[in-house]
Copies of this chain bind each other. A is one copy, B any other.
């Protein structure tokens, strides 16, 4: 067992998850920042993500937000799953838009958490609000890594 600080743990967990996460990588997502209870990811809207009006499929906006949620709620290196997610689409994302999904922890009480993920475009306009509920299960992302203290 290796003891280390929370930030190192958050980054190690994110790296381990991202390496295995074919879907997020196939969609061109990148992790900009991860901290305990926090993650910020980006994704650029590609040709294969849009419809005939050059508007991004809502499901892929959800997927970006859901990935940010996963990285945020797993940042303590405790395996955590989504129990429910809700999204409100506010404005369309267009071909070429660079989207950012920022995941913030609202509460973590026992094993249950609530996280808000806001998706914005390169101009800072809100594209969608996502709210996720999480539940810690057994297991760790990176086995044997625990926080000091």
Contacts and interface: CB of A to CB of B under 8 A. Distances in A.
26 contacts: A19-B52, A20-B52, A22-B47, A22-B48, A22-B50, A23-B48, A24-B57, A26-B48, A26-B49, A59-B59, A59-B62, A59-B66, A81-B89, A82-B89, A83-B84, A83-B89, A83-B112, A84-B86, A84-B87, A86-B131, A88-B131, A90-B109, A90-B112, A106-B126, A107-B129, A114-B129
B63 A67 contact: no
A55 to B, nearest CB: 10
A49 B20 CA distance: 11
A90 B63 contact: no
A122 interface: no
